Structure 1
Amino acid sequence: MHQTQTQSQYPNLGNRDQDVDGKFATAHPQHDNGVDNNKINKYNTSRVLTPRHRWKIATWNLRAGFQVGSREIIVRELHRYGISIAALSKLRLTRSGTMHVQVPNSDDYMVLYYFGGEKRMKGVGYAVDRTISQNLIAFQPISSRLAILSLYGTINTHIIAAYAPTEVNSDQSKNEFYIKLRELLDALPRKDLILIAGDLNAQVGSNRQGWEDVHGNYGIGNMNDNGLRLLSFAAANELTIENSLFRHPLKHQLTWRAPNGKDMSVLDYFLVRRRFRTSLMYVRTMRGADCASDHHLVRTIIQIRLKRPCPKSTTSKRRDWSKLADPTVQQCFQMVLTNQFAALKETDDINEATEQFSKAMKECTDTICTTI
């Protein structure tokens, strides 16, 4: 496990090896379930995310993760869709911790990082593929609605799991959520890739007028109060709502379906800084994933796309040709040019003759017509 980076770069990451108790969950879980540590170590790499690697990252509102067998169903579905990291909301697990969850009918497993309150009400967390779980900087719970997972890479990556208050919740709870989210963003290095993923309980609608910098061409429905809050927050923090950038059939855009089977909407989102907006290759729902939730699994593929350094432009020097309008300068120019041509060697090679002519002209203009 690598040494954690300078602690001041991250929001109160604390000691990665201390026990979790509602304050901090280690990014390097203890393997106390019979898993062979030596087998795990062979997957350890010094860099998780590089421009060569593509990750499948998901977000999923589970409604519950505490029933017997529910966690195994969740990791089975994530494994089936090749998910490397899933930001999970409404886990309804109490307190904070980590656990290994075996994929049914497989030798593979995922590591579950979670945080919740004293009551089984909300809760956020992550399911992380075992090949990545050994290369995390830290898992930091913020509240029962927010957590952050930080990972090594060519550019360090921070995935914020978010579960926003619903439309009917109080304005105070909504304000508190976005204040904490803003503080979290401000505490992270701007040069890093920051991805917000989760159930934001917002409808941003299809009208992007005035929101062109944050809203793409493929929104759905009408904006509600939570949608306005989300758009305003994105605009203030230079974020892009990635769901709206990709064209898909309607069924692959809708992330939530009411129990009555009639009301449907987009409530689950991926947001990223504008400079990294092209790092997400698509966003769509995976309707086949099933864990008895009214939300669909939403998946994206992420690949860091670094800008190549632009070569320094070499601007050609401008010459002051106006001097040739002076008769005295004209006479001097002709004399210098005659002397240059007289000094040329005779040759039958056209390329050599051209090179000599060009060199003579350059030396002549360098002498008479200075650069400006």
Structure 2
Amino acid sequence: MSLKQANGYVFTTKATLFLRENGCGREKTPKNRERERGDLIMYYPSIVMASQRVKIDNDVNGNISVVNGTTSGTWNINTLYQPGKYENIKQEFGRLKVDIMGLSEVRWEGTGIISDKDITFIYSGGETHQRGVGVMMTANAAKSIAGYWAISDRIILVKLTGKQIDVNLIQVYAPTCDYTDEDIENFYESLTAAKKLCKQHEITLVMGDLNAKIGKGRYEDIVGNFGLGNRNERGDTWIEWCSVEKQVIANSFFQQHPRRLWTWRSPGGRIKNQIDYITINKRFRNSIIRCKTYPGADGGHGCDHVPVIATMKLRLKNIKKRRKQPKKDLQVLSNSEFKERYTVQVRNRFEILDTEQEEESDDKEGKVLMDSKDVLARWVEYVGELYDDERGMKPEYEGELEGPEIMREEILHAMKSMKNRKATGKDEIAIEMIKAAGATECSKHRTISIMKYTFGMETLGLMMLLLRVNCSQQLHLMFSCD
């Protein structure tokens, strides 16, 4: 169905009812004018429609829908533990154009996440192929996943990052009438514990198969006027929990045809009940602009439930995940075989650097320097320019600038004195790596090629300097005593 608009007037009765139900405009009926299809029945300025960003499109059933929001739903699919059932649900998921769909009675063992090109599915099951819940979402919606918690085989919590407000999705599958009241109490205790993991200022959706009938009739601000059937004892328990946790049952606040209200039908279709619900915390109840069932969805063989889908004024945010660098396992260096392989690789790399050092160097003008003195002078000039700053002239030192050469024994002693399992610097070179490589020769290394490696020896150099100071102090004390 198309939406005709001219000079700020909206035509088509169905479009007007949609906009009126969702608070987008006010009906204005001229006097003595019949309400016929195509008549002028509503005034709605185009500029207001643009500011509201309400886009009208046709869904799979030919009804008007908002396409710039986020659609989330819940569906008891009876089982995914059947050949071809997962592909069938994926196909229906794409046909319904839903962003997020919570699934009950998945009947998969364990917990995990499955991702492919179009769909991401997070599930939580038990030790057997019974019960089980999960959340299926599009690839774009999956980019906003902040985390998920598999509470049990009846409850799973998925947290999404929104543009302004984060969203918590709690998919549940309540015990049926075959279970005892104690099982019901344990279920709601677990649900309350999951709800406490969500912050009050975030949107929290609790949805799934509750196996409870809330019936028709309003209850405070928790249940609306548009329920279905009569309320039962399990329905009272469900409403009581929603009242304590301040969750609004969205199914009951939108006037729909009865076929858009029922979620379960008996074999043969003679009995139809409303036992699947989508709830939202009371603070954000106006975020849901539509909620209804889709009886035309194909859940495969044995599926006696239909999905409940809600459209929300919500935009999710894509999380850019940073790549985590793998942590080095330094304990393997204690193995003699790994230590020998590591030492050989390090020595080979330094031999390559020594070979590069013997290659020709160029001056600033690109002229090749052949003489070793000219090459050394060029490197001195280069390093001076590299570390030059604006702190003024360096203070002059009249004493001797050159000290005694560093002996190999000093390096070995300093390396032995350093403790393992200490934090590394920016170069991420640990002392275990230096010890394993046997890095005792510090000369004949080109500055620019091994800059990051030489910085890794800074701690080792400080240790050697400290040992020299201690040694000098001890010698001074010895001679002074004599």
TM normalised by structure 1 equals 0.64
Match of 1:296 in 2: 306
Structure 1 distance, partners of 2:175, 2:77, is: 15
Structure 1 distance, partners of 2:307, 2:68, is: 22
When Rg is computed on C-alpha atoms for both structures, the one with the higher figure is 2
1:293-315 deviation line (CA, Å, top 9, x unaligned): 1000111101149xxxxxxxxxx
Match of 1:192 in 2: 202
Report if the CA contact (8 A) 1:64-1:91 is conserved: yes
Report if the CA contact (8 A) 1:167-1:225 is conserved: no
Match of 1:130 in 2: 139
Tell me which stretches of 4 or more aligned residues in structure 1 moved more than 4 Å: none
Structure 2 distance, partners of 1:193, 1:100, is: 25
Unpaired runs of 5+ in structure 2? 1-66, 316-482
Match of 2:103 in 1: 88
C-alpha RMSD over aligned residues:
1.5
Structure 2 distance, partners of 1:125, 1:110, is: 13
Structure 2 distance, partners of 1:267, 1:212, is: 20
1:57-98 deviation line (CA, Å, top 9, x unaligned): 110101111212111110110101111110111000111111
Q: Which amino acid aligns with 1:68?
A: P
Q: Which amino acid aligns with 1:62?
A: I
Match of 1:115 in 2: 124
Query: 1:238 aligned to 2:253?
Result: no
User: 1:156-195 residue pairs with structure 2 within 5 A?
Assistant: 156-195=166-205
Query: 1:74 aligned to 2:93?
Result: no
Cα deviation for residue 109 of structure 1 reads 2.1
Structure 2 counterpart of 1:145, from 151, 154, 178:
154
Match of 2:346 in 1: none
1:273-310 deviation line (CA, Å, top 9, x unaligned): 111111111111111211221000111101149xxxxx
Report if the CA contact (8 A) 2:70-2:314 is conserved: no
Q: Which amino acid aligns with 2:144?
A: N
Cα deviation for residue 152 of structure 1 reads 0.5
Structure 2 counterpart of 1:65, from 71, 80, 84:
80
Match of 2:38 in 1: none
Q: Which amino acid aligns with 2:295?
A: R
Structure 2 distance, partners of 1:167, 1:174, is: 9
Report if the CA contact (8 A) 1:241-1:271 is conserved: yes
Report if the CA contact (8 A) 1:84-1:132 is conserved: yes
Cα deviation for residue 56 of structure 1 reads 1.1
1:337-372 deviation line (CA, Å, top 9, x unaligned): xxxxxxxxxxxxxxxxxxxxxxxxxxxxxxxxxxxx
Report if the CA contact (8 A) 2:264-2:306 is conserved: yes
For these two proteins, the number of residue pairs brought into alignment is: 246
Structure 2 distance, partners of 1:168, 1:221, is: 21
1:9-39 deviation line (CA, Å, top 9, x unaligned): xxxxxxxxxxxxxxxxxxxxxxxxxxxxxxx
Cα deviation for residue 271 of structure 1 reads 0.7
User: 1:1-372 residue pairs with structure 2 within 5 A?
Assistant: 54-100=69-115, 109-153=118-162, 154-208=164-218, 211-292=219-300, 293-304=303-314
Identity %: 31
Q: Which amino acid aligns with 1:151?
A: L
Structure 1 distance, partners of 2:142, 2:227, is: 34
1:125-177 deviation line (CA, Å, top 9, x unaligned): 01110112122001111000000110001100001001011133100110011
Cα deviation for residue 53 of structure 1 reads 5.1
Structure 2 distance, partners of 1:235, 1:268, is: 17
Structure 1 distance, partners of 2:173, 2:125, is: 11
Report if the CA contact (8 A) 2:217-2:226 is conserved: no
Q: Which amino acid aligns with 1:254?
A: W
Structure 2 distance, partners of 1:282, 1:178, is: 27
Q: Which amino acid aligns with 2:87?
A: E
Structure 1 distance, partners of 2:233, 2:210, is: 12
Please state which structure has a larger fraction of its residues in helix: 2
Cα deviation for residue 221 of structure 1 reads 0.9
Report if the CA contact (8 A) 1:196-1:271 is conserved: yes
Report if the CA contact (8 A) 2:217-2:224 is conserved: no
Unpaired runs of 5+ in structure 1? 1-51, 102-107, 306-372
Structure 1 distance, partners of 2:118, 2:165, is: 27
Structure 1 distance, partners of 2:178, 2:288, is: 31
Q: Which has the higher contact order (CA 8 A, sep 6+)?
A: 1
Q: Which amino acid aligns with 1:232?
A: E
Report if the CA contact (8 A) 1:193-1:276 is conserved: yes
1:215-274 deviation line (CA, Å, top 9, x unaligned): 101011111111000110011111111100000000011011111321110011001111
Report if the CA contact (8 A) 1:57-1:301 is conserved: yes
